[in-house]
Chains A and B, each alone.
Chain A
Amino acid sequence: MFYAQLIVNGLVQGLIVGLAALAVTLVFGVARFANAATGDTMTFGAYAALIGHKATGSLVVAGGAAVGATALLSLTVYALVFRKLAGRSVVALLVTSIGVGFLLRSVLGIVFGHNQQLFTVPLVRPIRFNGLIINPFDLQLAAVAAVALVGVFLVLYATPIGRRMRAVADNRELALVSGIRPERVMIALWLLVGAVTGVAGMMLGMKTIVSPELGWEMLLPAFAAAILGGIGSPVGAVLAGLLLGVAQELSTPFVGFTYKLSISFVVLLLVLLVRPRGLFGRLEGVR
C-alpha cells in the first residue's frame, strides 16, 4: 500500500510535468527548436488564470482566461520574434527563446511583484480508497490533462490544419511544394501551443503557488520528459512525464528525497541508451 501511494503521488507530479512537456514537444515537432520560453509562458498563463479567478471566482473563467491570454501571447511572440528568425540555426532560436523567457519573467515580476499569490480554492479532505489517499483536485488535474491531450490529438489528427501541421513537421519543403502555406500552419501551431501552455501553467499554479519563477523552475523536467517521450510525440510527452514522476517517487525509500530528482535523469539516460529516439519518437530518415 505504501508503494501504491507513492505511485499515486508520482502520477500527480508526472501529470504536471507531462502537460508542460506537451507544450515543449509540439514546438519541437513542428517549429524544430527547443522553446526555453515555455516555462515563463506557463507562468503567464498562471497569472492570467489568477486574474480571471479573482475577478469572477469561477475556475472555468480562470481556465478560459489562461487559454485565451496565453494563446494570444504565444502568437504575439511568434509574430514579433520567431517568425523573423525562421530558417536560422536551432541554436539562434534556442538562445532567442531564453531571451524571450527572461523578458516575460521580468515583466511579470514588475507587474505582479515577487510575493507569492494563491488560488483561493476551498481545501477539501481527500478521498480514501482502500487505504489509498487521493486528493479530489488531483482527479480534476488528471481530467484536465486528459482533455488537453485529447484536444491536441483531435486538432492534429482530425482537422485539415492538423494534417498540414503534421505535413510541415514531416518535411517542410515537400509540404511547401504541395501547396501548404506554412505561415497559417505556424499561426495555428503557436495558438495551440499557447493554449496548452496556459492550461499547464494554471494547473501548476493551482497545485503550488504563483510567483514569477513558477514556470522557469519547471522547464528542465519538462524538457527531460519531452526528450524521453520522443521529440514531437504528444502522447510520449505525457506518458514520459508520468513515468519520470513515478520513478522519482518510487525511488525515495531507497535514495531519499534529496536525490530523487537525479533518478529521473538516470531513467532518461537508460531509456535513451536503449532507445535513442525516445519512447514514442519515430526514426528520421537521412535527408
Chain B
Amino acid sequence: MSARQPLQDVQDGTAVTAKDGLQTSISSATPTSSRKQPPPEKPSDIRRRSLVILSFWLIVLCLGLPIWWKTTTIYRANLPLQEMLDWADGKACRPVFPLHIAIQANSLQEQEAQNLVRLTQHALDDLNDFSGHHLRLQLSPPSGDKKPASDHSAALTIRLVPGDSTTSTLDQYAPVLDITYPPNTIPSPTSSSSSLATYVASQLRSTFAEEQTIISYLLSSSSSTPPEHRAQGLTPEAAELLSKRTTRSLKYAPTYHLTLSLFTSGPLPSSWDIEAAIDEYMKPVLDVLAPIHNFTIDTQVQLYATPGVQNQVLSKEDLSSFINAAEWPLSPSIGGAPTVNFVVFVGNQTIMAPPTISEGADSELPTFQSFLIPQWGTVYLLPLPHNTPHLSAAMLKQPLLTFTSHLLSLTGAPQSGSLPLRLSTLARIRSADLLLRASSTLGSLARLSLALPSISIPSSVADGVSKTMAHLRLACETLGGADGLAHARIAESEAERAFFEKSMVGQLYFPDEHKIAVYLPLLGPVAVPLVMGLLNEIKAWRKRRRERAEKGAEKKAE
C-alpha cells in the first residue's frame, strides 16, 4: 500500500529522489541552478520506514514461512520399501505347499507299512522336480472301520487294501485314493525298491499333476519369481493351455453373484421352477464351494427376447455376438460382487459343431446346446415345443448341471480329479494366486512411491501396507490350509485398498512445474513491493554507513 512509499517531489518534470538517497537522476549535463535539493531526511523518518518494512517482513518470515512449510509439505508416511520390494520379488516368501498324504494300511504290519512309506517317499522325491509342491507321506494309525479317518490336515488319504492285482480308484465323494495290491508286492524290510512303492508314487503324482502344473504356471507367470524357483517341467503347450484357462476364469472375489435368466423368443414359457431346480442341482456344489466363495443368486424371466444372432445354426463366430447386450437386462454387476450370468434361451437354435475340432478336445463346447463365455457365464440353448407354458424342475436339470460344471471352471477349479480333490486344489491355487497378486501390488506401490517423490502417502496407506504384510506372512506360513486362503484374501484386499487410495490418485498428475502456476499469480505481485522495499532499504542503510565511515575518516584526518 502507499503507506509504505516515501513521498517524493517533482520539479520541472525531473524526479529528484528525496528519501532513499539514490541521487541517480541528477545529471551534470543539464545543471539548473533553480532546482532545490530536498532537505535531508530526518533520522526519525528513516527509522519509521525501517520499522514499516520490518513489520511486513516479520509477518512474512514469522508467520508466512512456517505456515507455508506446514501446509504444503506432502505427508509421506514411511513405507517399508525394501521389504515391499522383497515381497514383490518373491524373496520374502517361498511359496511351498506341503501336502500331507495319509496312508492307511490296516492289513499291514506296522514295520512293513513304515518301510513301504519310506520307499514310496523316496520314489516320490525322485520323481518330483518342483520343490514348491511337496508331497509328504504319513502313516496314519490303523482304524477299524472302513471309513477313512477324518484327518483334516491330510490332503489325500491312501487306503491300501489287499487284492488280486494292482489297481487304483479315486473316491468320488471324499479325498481318498483306494489302491489294491497283491500281497506278494509288499516290499521286504531290506529291499531298497519296490514295485508297489513306485506304483503308489506314480499314482500320487498323476493325481496331483494338474495342480502342480497350475501352481508352477502361476509362479512362473508372476515375472518376479526368481528363476530357480520356477518349475522346469512346464512345456509351452501346457503353459498355453493354462493361460487359456486362466483367462477364462473369473478374477477371484470372496462373493460371486449368480444371475439365472430365462429368455424366450416367444410368449411361452413364461414361468420356471427355478428355485426347486437350484436347490436340487446347483446347491450341493455351491455348498462345497462355500469355504472359498459366497454366492448370492437372483433370477429373471424375459419374454420376446431377440438374440444378437438370428441364424438357425450358430457357428463359432456367431457365439460371440449371440448375447444381445443392448436389450437384455444383464447388468454387469450388482452390488460389489462380480456377476456370473447363466442364461437359458428357449428357442430352436443349435450350435454347429466346429468341423476342425475333434470331440472333447475343446472344453468350450462340451455339448452342442451350451457355450461358455470367458469371465462372463454360460448360455444354454433349450429347444422346446412351442406351447410349453411352464418349465419344470426336471426340464431344467440338464441346463443347471451344465451351469454347475461351468461354474467350477469359471471359478478356476482344475479339470481332473474327484470333486473334493478339485475343490481343495482350487483353494490352494487361489491362495497362491492371491499371495502373488498382493505381493506384486505391494511391489507396484513401492516402485510408485520411489518414482514419484511428490506423491503424498497418507497414513492409511502405511496402515494398509503393514496389514498386508502381516497377513502375507501368516498366509505364507499356512499356505495350503484354510487359514492360508483367508489370510491371502485379506492381504490382497488390503493391498488393493492401499494402492488405490483416493487422496494419492489426485496428486498423481501434479508435477512441480504446476506449483509455479499456483503460486506466482497471487504471490508474485505481493512479493515485488515487499522485496523491492527491502532491497532499497538495505542499499540506503549501507550507503549511510559508508558516509558515516567517510565522515569519521575525515575527522581523523583533520
Q: Do A and B interact with each other, yes or no?
A: no
> Which residues in A have some Cβ–Cβ distance to B below 8 Å?
none
Residues of B at under 8 Å CB distance from A? none
